[in-house]
């Protein structure tokens, strides 16, 4: 990524969504409320963030989205918006797991980011992240919390995210540390940092073919198969 390049990041994969504009450091960031409809608030938030940062869409060098896992509807909203903007502006699209973004925002390393997947399962991804390198210890997956804690790849990790808070007692009983709830709120600014420092890891090769990584079927899809 060229020094000074300005990017737009979109994350609606969880109930608290966010929009950020900037590079390694955000110029503006807007949080979308837990009780709002992301489909209605995302584009106004994008416009406000751009205006606050003092730039226009034509100044953008790329679009970054949280590409999964998370809310099926939320992933589709950010994904479709990001693809449409990248295509219209003729700029690259970057996609990073929201789990990786949570890990990148954490001061603890290694770190396991967890989102609640219900039924005693979590969406989990474990990483070592720094400006100089990015190592995936545990690829994003929907997994039983007990099975995850028994996996040797998570040894020494700190756990972060809403899934970690939900299963905090179990995680601590297994001998691991859990970050505070505030540390686990997703921020689109972390996506900006990832695209600015590790662009090769997230650049989408084909806008036409790219889709979010849901990791498992939606409830509706499972019902149709039953």
Residue (of 160, 166, 188) closest to 17 by Cα position: 188
Residue 2 belongs to some domain of the structure: no
**33 and 94 inside one domain:** yes
pLDDT per residue as tens digits for the range 93-128: 999 999 999 999 988 889 999 999 988 899 999 999
Token pair 């219900």 in the structure block, residue: 118
What is the C-alpha to C-alpha distance for residues 182 and 196, in angstroms, rounded to an integer?
A: 24
Domain that holds residue 117: 106-184
**76 and 140 inside one domain:** no
Domain count, the chain: 2
Average pLDDT value for residue range 126-154: 94
Does the pLDDT value for residue 219 go beyond 70?
Answer: no
Residue 159 belongs to some domain of the structure: yes
pTM of this prediction? 0.91
**94 and 14 inside one domain:** yes
pLDDT per residue as tens digits for the range 63-102: 999 999 999 999 999 999 999 999 999 999 999 999 999 9
């Amino acid at each position: 990524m060229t020094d000074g390049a300005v990017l737009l990041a979109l994350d609606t994969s969880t109930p608290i969504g966010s929009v950020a504009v900037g590079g390694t450091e955000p110029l503006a960031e807007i949080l979308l409320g837990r009780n709002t409809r992301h489909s209605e608030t995302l584009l106004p938030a994008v416009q406000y963030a751009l205006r606050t940062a003092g730039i226009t869409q034509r100044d953008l060098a790329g679009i970054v989205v949280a590409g999964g896992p998370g809310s099926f509807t939320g992933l589709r909203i950010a994904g479709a918006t990001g693809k449409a903007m990248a295509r219209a502006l003729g700029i690259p699209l970057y996609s990073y797991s929201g789990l990786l973004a949570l890990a990148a925002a954490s001061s603890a390393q290694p770190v396991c980011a967890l989102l609640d997947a219900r039924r005693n399962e979590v969406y989990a991804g474990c990483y070592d992240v720094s400006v100089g390198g990015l190592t995936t210890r545990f690829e994003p997956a929907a997994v039983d919390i007990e099975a995850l804690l028994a996996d040797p790849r998570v040894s020494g990790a700190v756990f972060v995210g809403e899934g970690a808070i939900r299963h905090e007692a179990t995680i601590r009983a297994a001998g691991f540390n859990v970050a505070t709830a505030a540390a686990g709120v997703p921020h689109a600014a972390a996506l900006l940092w990832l695209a600015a420092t590790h662009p090769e890891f997230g650049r989408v090769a084909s806008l036409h073919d790219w889709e979010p990584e849901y990791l498992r079927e939606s409830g509706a899809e499972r019902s149709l198969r039953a």
